Homo-oligomer: A and B are copies of this chain.
């Protein structure tokens, strides 16, 4: 099999650290029991892996109460749980950034058809990507924010949003803040209390370098109360089984069905691997991103970047004159064996913001920890050849 140059790490990081594969294979063969549902040692061992994983996740965002880490099969399910579980019992103003993923926008839109909620976009400058704080203040004054959804890193542009600043303003109105950290957790520093989020949502299989099948949220222990969030996906919990309601305790209240111990064990290994890296992930990805941007800026192509490249990491969206996005991605794969992604990247609003609706979206290049400078340069050479063709 010819080696692929993998530059679609924003879809899912690949490869994972070897220890993730090894641990998953081991747990699959010797420990894939139904955790929390049996008294025997295997089921208890599985339970312990899950408990430790919660602790590792909590620690990563500087939270010391691991029961506030709720595990789901994906970040998508976690966001559905939050968005459907919040009490929309009066008129609500919900603000979203233009960079949100459809795993935020589609559940919100679904809820908006039944409940009295109004979805508004936070203003950002289309040229510089700068957040317009003054316009936001005016908007908040006119329509007090009840709920603000912010993605930490845009999955289309690699733009790091000023989440702390937005959340600080939103908190002046006592708005709930939900941070979608699917692209950021593991990669850049994230302290739940510092960004003052009520919920931080993570995806195991992206920059946490775990596998598919596990994601979740961390609820802010200082602001969360069980009454504030209705369970959404309900079912067997292995506890309190005569009760038709979900148990009152955390994390059981929100986790229904058999836990995916194999995926969780993979995430467990990945989290330990990350914890030893201490900032190396960010340093390396910033470096690769800088090389990529510098080289691309020399080409005659359209780039969708923030002005301040300090607020940018890992992902570059681009378009080539005379090509649709998917054509470029197709040529990169078939002719040059480079995996990228083309299209709208499951983000409905950002293409109006970027002006890329008519182009069929963008070609997205996304780097990961296991990429190197040679691969970046190879990609740039390929793009040069396509342009020269």
Residues of A near any B CB (own CB < 8 A): 1, 4, 6, 8, 11-12, 14-16, 21, 24-25, 28-30, 32-34, 37-43, 73-77, 79-80, 101-103, 105-107, 109-110, 203, 205, 211-213, 231-238, 241-246, 256-263, 326, 329-330, 333, 338-348, 351, 357, 361
Contacts and interface: CB of A to CB of B under 8 A. Distances in A.
Contacts of A260: 73, 211-213, 263
Contact of A231 (B105, B110, B203, B262): B110
A237 B346 contact: yes
Contact of A238 (B4, B107, B235, B346): B346
Nearest to A22: B25
A33 B245 CA distance: 37
Contacts of A8: 33-34, 38, 40, 43
Contact of A107 (B76, B211, B213, B235): B235
A255 to B, nearest CB: 10
A212 B212 CA distance: 12
B43 A339 contact: yes
A12 B357 contact: no
A234 B110 contact: yes
Given A212-B261, A258-B212, A241 B38 contact: no
Contacts of A40: 4, 8, 329, 333, 338-340
B77 A77 contact: yes
Contact of A77 (B73, B263, B340): B73
B241 A109 contact: no
Nearest to A343: B241
A235 B80 contact: yes
A186 B345 CA distance: 37
A321 B350 CA distance: 66
A33 B14 contact: yes
Nearest to A259: B212
A71 to B, nearest CB: 11
Given A241-B346, A245-B106, A256-B106, A11 B39 contact: no
Contact of A76 (B24, B101, B110, B256): B256
Nearest to A20: B28
Contacts of A43: 8, 11, 339
Contacts of A257: 73-77, 103
Contact of A242 (B34, B242, B333, B344): B344
Contacts of A232: 80
A103 B333 contact: no
Given A258-B205, A263-B212, A348 B242 contact: yes
5 contacts: A12-B32, A28-B211, A77-B257, A80-B232, A241-B346
Contacts of A29: 15, 21
A178 to B, nearest CB: 14
A326 B8 CA distance: 49
Contacts of A21: 25, 28-29
B348 A241 contact: yes
Contact of A106 (B33, B41, B246): B246
Nearest to A231: B110
Between A29, A231, A244, the greatest number of chain B beta carbons within 10 A of the residue's beta carbon is seen for A244
Contacts of A205: 258
A367 to B, nearest CB: 15
Contacts of A343: 241
Contacts of A329: 38-40
A287 to B, nearest CB: 25
